[in-house]
Amino acid sequence: MTPNDSAAGPPPLPRPRFFVAVAVVAAGAALFAIAFRAAIAFVFERGFGAHDVLAAFEQLPWWARLLSPAIGGLLAGSASAIAARGRDARGVGDVMEAVVLGGRPMSLRATVWKAVGSWSAIVSGGSIGREGPIIQFGGALGSRLAERLGIRESRKRALIAAGSAAGFAAAYNTPLAAVLFVLEVITGVAALGAVLPAILAAALSTAITRFAIGAGPIYGEHAFAMRSSWELVAHLVLGLVSGVAAVGFIQLLAASERAFAKVPLARPYRAAIGGALVGAIACWLPAVTGNGYEAIARILDGRMAIELLLLLLLAKPLATGASVGSGSPGGAFTPALFVGAALGAALAAGLVRLAPAGAIGPAGGYALVGMAAVVAATTHAPLTAAVLVFEVSGDYAIVLPLLVAVSASTAVARTLRRSSLYMEEVERRGVRWEVTLAGRDVQRVDDGR
């Protein structure tokens, strides 16, 4: 510390308008998430006469399963193309770059168009998550509000981080995981200037969301206890396998994006082809449609045979690659949860056939741990993944296996592939950063890497 530093004293406290802005951003992100989910539910109830995408596709004839995602992909690709005419809102990487590097504002216009595209893909059966546009909207709203109120750059970056926390909390009804998501994924450091606004925004957003939708865990209350301590070894194995599966998932998404980029067609038509591929898979496996929420609920309830789980372990990543890689805007976070649930439940089903009767706990517990393990390895955010799954299940008994599995899966993933799914978004823009005990080191990435 230099004499000037000591003379300067602590940084000035935020003005009241900053906290007002945090509250507005939290409320805006929550209301956007509520409206987004309600609009999806409205289409399924009025258009398909079903409660969700899986129930809708199970009752559709084969030709409708094939055609619906193709039309949705065309609309999603068109909305994404409109968004790209201004400042492109690419995904969570856009939020990461705005918070860490600052300077460039996030485009609320582009983000809204991306959300329209995501909605179009989801209601038609595209295999993407809805969390991406909700997180982006929270961040973009924070960026726009900071500009309108003349909030200085450092506070603006904190407001964007708070908006992303609010969006995450509203998407999953998990305020603690939302704050950890900001720390592990968005900022990479535990800076109080970002942590406190994120906590406030996540709390307010969750309160508003629970008032409108309900307070329970999104996957319902569960109680999955281990039958014996030796099952920790099984969960360790699940973590190791999940790390490999997560790296394969990331590689498949990247390969799909490269393959569709070579198709000599405009973005809307590439997205239509991607949607048609999802529809072709859905003709036999309708569970690949949507973000995977409904299928995960069935897996947790033990309503899927091991043969179907093994098929979905391959089919869901392929469908997600077709949707995301072809240009339909959306997230891969919930599809990663799906992959983890299927992997965990399949491992449990296999162990039941090999182990003595009553030696293995419920398959739903393994599915929950698998969800956390695959997400941790995909995002390189083990604490976020563990707390998220704990919050969405309300099951304290799985905390110990959760910690074992997420640490193993993250270690494997970081060994096999240096960058997380979100960091690769940032790297495609020519920059990356590494967070160590010495701090955060921002590096430029050349095109020939």
pLDDT at position 449: 42
217-255: per-residue pLDDT in tens?
676 666 677 777 788 999 999 999 999 999 999 999 999
**Residue 113 scores a pLDDT above 80:** yes
In contact, 169 and 206? CB cutoff 8 Å = yes
The domain 231-427 is placed in CATH, from the list 3.30.360.10, 2.60.40.10, 3.40.190.180, 1.10.3080.10, at 1.10.3080.10
The stretch 431-439 carries a mean pLDDT of 68
In contact, 100 and 440? CB cutoff 8 Å = yes
165-182: per-residue pLDDT in tens?
999 999 998 999 999 999
Which residues touch 195 (CB under 8 Å, ≥6 apart)? 179, 182, 183
pLDDT at position 4: 45
**Rounded percentage of the chain residues whose pLDDT exceeds 70:** 90
Q: What is the mean pLDDT of the chain?
A: 86
The stretch 377-386 carries a mean pLDDT of 94
**Residue 397 scores a pLDDT above 90:** no
Domain with CATH 1.10.3080.10 in the chain: 16-213, 231-427
301-330: per-residue pLDDT in tens?
888 999 999 999 999 999 999 999 998 888
CA pair distance 434, 443, nearest whole angstrom: 8
- Domain 16-213 belongs in CATH node 1.10.3080.10: yes
Angle between helices 153-172 and 16-43 (to 10 degrees): 30
The stretch 82-97 carries a mean pLDDT of 71
